[in-house]
Amino acid sequence: MMIGAQRPSKKTRLAGFTLLELLVALALLAFIGATLANSLSVGIRVLNRSAALEETIDPIALRIRLRSWLSQAASPAFASSVPIHFSGDVSAFEFVTRTSTPFAPEAFGMIVQVVHEDSALRLRASLIDSDGATFDEINGLLALSENAGIIRYYDGRTSEWVSEWVDDAALPVLVRIELPETAEPQWPEFTVRLTFAHPITN
């Protein structure tokens, strides 16, 4: 019988991890890693969508503003210290509006130009004072479109749509801008009735 030579008990074993503990730790790490990777991937997608959404907000706001400005286009028949005109063809038009603008309340009005160029429908507005002098400009994108759209004008005197407006004395009753479905952001048909247009002759 040996005295003093005892087998080490479980309590006195060297500190360390069992295989099972290591496997559990690895499984936990893998789970956390996968969740993080998934969250990051979703985060990147959200960021991309957010950027795309931000880019489309301004064009839509500008479209709404254009509707308001165009509906209040000044008639060439109005007596004014500023020359008032409306002219346009299939790819561009220009008009003067007296609609007040919150960002420039001191302006007499605006000369607004809508034009399709470089695969984009753009808006340019020049703020004018009572002498007709330009003192500020606004430029904005309405939509991106590789294919040119069509701009048409409804003549209330003949009840016909025309592709060019050169009348120095009257406004068209309606102005319509159409772009293909591929336009970005979406551009559903845009038709505006001009309040100060020549009365319709039916």
Partner 1 sequence: MATVLAVLIPEQGGLLQRGRESQAETLAYDYAHSVIASRSVSRELQPDSERFDYRDWSVDVALEELGISTGPMTVFRIEVRVSGSNGRALAHAQGMITR
Cα(182)–Cα(70) distance, rounded to whole angstroms? 25
Stretch that binds partner 1, among 5-13, 14-22, 45-53, 100-108 (CB under 8 A): 45-53
Q: Give the residue from 92, 96, 89, 93 showing the smallest Cα distance to 75.
A: 96
Q: Which residues of 39-49 are buried (b: 16+ CB within 10 A; e: fewer)?
A: eeeeeeeeeee
Q: Which is nearer to partner 1, 35 or 134 (CB)?
A: 35
Q: What is the DSSP string of 5-64?
A: -PPPPGGGSPS---HHHHHHHHHHHHHHHHHHHHHHHHHHHHHHHHHHHHHHHHHHHHHH
Nearer to partner 1 (CB atom), residue 38 or residue 100: 38
By CB under 8 A, the residues from 112 to 151 that bind partner 1 are none
Give the nearer residue to partner 1 in terms of CB position, either 22 or 34: 34
32 near partner 1, rule: CB under 8 A: yes
In whole angstroms, how far apart are CA 57 and each of 70, 100, 184?
A: 20, 22, 11
Q: Is 192 in the site for partner 1 (CB under 8 A)?
A: yes
Identify residue 172 by its one-letter amino acid code: P
Nearer to partner 1, 41 or 130 (CB): 41
Shortest separation between residue 151's beta carbon and partner 1, angstroms: 14
Part in contact with partner 1 (CB under 8 A); list of ranges 28-36, 93-101, 102-110, 132-140: 28-36
Residue numbers of the site for partner 1 (CB under 8 A)?
A: 32, 35-36, 38-40, 42-43, 45-46, 49-50, 53, 56-57, 60, 63-64, 67, 154, 156, 159, 173-174, 176, 181, 185-186, 188-193, 200, 202
